[in-house]
Amino acid sequence: MTRHERIVIITVLAIMAVMVGFDLFTDSQEGVELWHVLVEGGAGLAALFGIFYFMKDSFNLKHKLTDSLNENVKLKQEASNWKTEAQKYIEGLSQSIDQQLTKWNLTAAEKEVALLLLKGLSLKEIADIRSTTEKTARVQSIAIYSKSGLSGRSELAAFFLEDLLQPQGK
C-alpha cells in the first residue's frame, strides 16, 4: 500500500470518527436508546482503531526505512574504507605483475592481453576491447604462454594468485 493510499484511508476513518462522535453527542441530547448509542460508539471506536492501526504501520515502515538507510550508509563507508586500505596492496600487486610480465619480455600488447586474461576475459572479449581479431588475441596469448613457460590461462592465473590465497595462519 502506498503512502498516499494510507493517508486517504486515515483521512476517511478520521472523518467517520468525527461524524460518529458528533452523532453520539446529538443523540445523547435527544435521549435515544442505549443500544443505539452503543452501536454507534462501536462504529466510532472501530474507525479510531483503524486510524491507529494504519498510523502504527506507517511509523513502523518509516522506522525500518530509516534503519535500512543507516545500514546502507554504514556498509558504503565500510566498502570505502576497505578500498582505501586495500589500494596500496592492489597497487603493489599491479606493479609486481607488471615487473614479472617485463621479465618475460612481453610486448606492450602482450602485457595488455595477459592482464585481460588474468581478469578472466575470453579471447573474443579481449579482441573486442583491443579492436583486433580473435585470431590476433589467440596468437598473442600463445606468445605469452610460450615466453612465460606456462601452459595456459589457469597456470598464468595460478602463477600470480597462488601465494595470495593462502589459508589464514600460514
Q: Please report how many Cα atoms fall inside a 13 Å half-sphere around the Cα of residue 100, on the Cβ side.
A: 17
User: Is the pLDDT higher at 109 or at 53?
Assistant: 109
Cα(first)–Cα(last) distance of the chain, in Å? 54
Give the per-residue pLDDT at 8. 87
Average pLDDT on 57-70 reads 89
Average pLDDT on 101-113 reads 95
Amino acid sitting at position 57: D
For 15, phi then psi, to 5°, come to -65, -40
11-34 tens-digit pLDDT: 888 898 889 888 888 888 888 888
CB atoms within 10 A of CB 145: 16
Structure confidence at residue 1 as a pLDDT band (50, 70, 90)? confident
Identify how many contiguous H helices and E strands the chain contains and give both numbers.
6, 0
* Cα separation, 82 vs 58, whole angstroms: 36
128-162 tens-digit pLDDT: 999 999 999 999 999 999 999 999 999 999 998 88
User: Per this entry, what is the length of the chain?
Assistant: 170
* Cα separation, 170 vs 166, whole angstroms: 7
